[in-house]
A = this chain, B = another copy of it.
Amino acid sequence: MTLFDKHRATLERAIEACRTRQSWTAYDKPATANHAAFTSLLGRPFDDDGPGAWHAQDDEVSPYTGEPLGVSYRRAGVEELVEAATRAWPRWRDADPRVRAGVCLEMCDRIHATELAHATMHTTGQSLGMSLTGSGTNALDRGVEAIAQAYAAMSRVPESATWSRNFGTSTVELVKRYRLVPKGVAVVVACASFPAWNVYPALFASLVTGNPVIVKPHPSSVLSMALAVRACREALAEAGFDPGLIGLAVDTAAEPVTKALVRHPAVRIVDFTGSATFGSWVEANAFPAVAYTETSGVNSVLIHSYDELQPVLRALAGSLCLFSAQMCTSPQNFYVPRALAGDFAEGLAEAVRAITAAPRRAAAVLGAIQSPATLALLERVRQEAAARGEIVLEPTAYAHPDHPEARTSGPLIARVDVADHDLVAGERFGPVAFVIGCDDADQALGVATRDAREHGAITAFAYSTDEAYLDRAEHAFSLAGAALTSNLTGPMPLNFSAAYSDYHVTGLNPAGNASLTDDSFVTGRFRVTQSRRAPAGRNAPASG
């Protein structure tokens, strides 16, 4: 049985799910989390057969223990990585898309079977649960989704056609053949706090369309990506392909290689997740490579009206606390009619305290803060907010029950007025909530959608008992390029984004130019070439 046959049902089901956008997952069972498998990796060279000599990755320090992981990775130069990718390319490039799809889906299964969760936890700061789901099965589902969308796009090009047409009194017949040709070396630049969710779609969209890929993890968050890349390389080798097709570019904060990778003349595709500033640089400088970016944005909550406030507050507090708001979909700006703003802010703070006060629950929801820089930023925001408004909830560390040295912080909640809008217009990465008193929910809609257009936004949330208001809000956020979720309470995290169903990022505002997973995310990664042949003896000499 070929790998394509083995995974055909999954592929077909995934294509169907993309079409209907209903709920589905290729991974009903969560991955496992074996702590011993993780600790066996620590303090030693990471065993793979890539190019380059081993160097200790001093930037990789667990947000939970404060200790360096002590893993050494092979560090290869940009030229070396590009050469390895280019060398491995031809067989993969010339393989049938079915073969590539089978191998890519096998890679996904391999990643799912790999002990990644503790590595994710101790690099990103995510809780173990989120490492297993958000960075595990949900992220892999986005990878499978990308494979499905790319495969569907490739399948729309027929392999051949017999074409005939009259010219004058003669009929000309041509046999045409259409070939799918991948663009070339792809680079995937990952962020520190949630790499899997963007790396898997980018990696598999480029791979399944036939390109070699170099994954460039954040220097403080390498291990889970190194494990995933190794799993993929093993699957490649077993399928008879050169594992050098997938490279791992390990760099350091002091000596980053991202710009050199992006500007390398052989690179044709760049996927980037990270800051808006760097993302803009990539978009402007990737040429002749095509760039797919997700950067950052300022996500808003609009409070118009509600039947019952408590479920709303619980849902919002949960979303604000989830991974300490270190997600690109975390809400930051809560617009509340001025008269209600005080009570709302107090209620939100109370709902947050209900989470942060219980250590086990706090650990499961908030996890840890990936970077010390986030705490420093949080302190600056706290000072600014105190000078301009009122601090309703101080951002205080909670005591992690298993990791007393964990870098943690509950959210800052500050109450300001819409007159102080400059304070809240851009993204403040980390656990920050501004409760913004405004004239009314329509003013809020205007301000929030303008912020989305100018500073980027991925999601927004609205609460209203007035369907007409929600219609207006959906239209306005649609034009501003942010997904709007309305009136959601209950157990689903507000900012949960479902593979196969939820488009993630629109490309209509500065939060990124690429969408998981629309056709434009996959169709630029390969090209169609064609040939035409006159059948022997046909189209013979017409009288000149």
The chain A residues found within 8 Å of chain B, CB to CB, are 19-23, 153, 156-158, 161-165, 167-168, 170, 172, 174, 176-179, 181, 183, 283-284, 287-288, 308, 310-311, 314, 351, 354, 470, 474, 477-479, 481-492, 498, 501-503, 506-508, 513, 515, 518-520, 523-524, 527-534, 536, 539-542, 544
Contacts and interface: CB of A to CB of B under 8 A. Distances in A.
20 contacts: A20-B161, A22-B161, A165-B498, A167-B492, A172-B491, A172-B492, A183-B507, A183-B508, A283-B287, A314-B541, A477-B531, A483-B529, A485-B532, A486-B534, A487-B539, A503-B529, A503-B530, A506-B528, A519-B519, A520-B520
B503 A539 contact: no
Given A501-B176, A515-B528, A19 B156 contact: yes
B532 A21 contact: no
B508 A529 contact: yes
Contacts of A541: 308, 310-311, 314, 489-490
A195 to B, nearest CB: 24
Contact of A520 (B172, B351, B515, B523): B523
B515 A527 contact: yes
Contacts of A533: 470, 485-487
A334 to B, nearest CB: 18
Contacts of A488: 172, 174, 532, 534, 539
A498 B530 CA distance: 12
Given A158-B20, A287-B284, A506 B181 contact: yes
Nearest to A177: B474
A338 to B, nearest CB: 26
B481 A529 contact: yes
Among A168, A314, A533, the most chain B Cβ lie within 10 Å of the Cβ of A533
Given A484-B531, A518-B527, A539 B492 contact: yes
A477 B351 CA distance: 64
A265 to B, nearest CB: 12
A523 B518 contact: yes
B531 A483 contact: yes
A530 B542 contact: no
A170 B539 CA distance: 68
Contacts of A523: 518-520, 523
Given A489-B540, A515-B527, A540-B489, A532 B181 contact: no
B478 A161 contact: no
A506 B183 CA distance: 10
A285 to B, nearest CB: 9
B172 A490 contact: yes
Contacts of A21: 158, 161, 163, 176, 178
Given A21-B163, A486-B531, A503 B178 contact: yes
Nearest to A311: B541
Contact of A506 (B478, B529, B539): B529
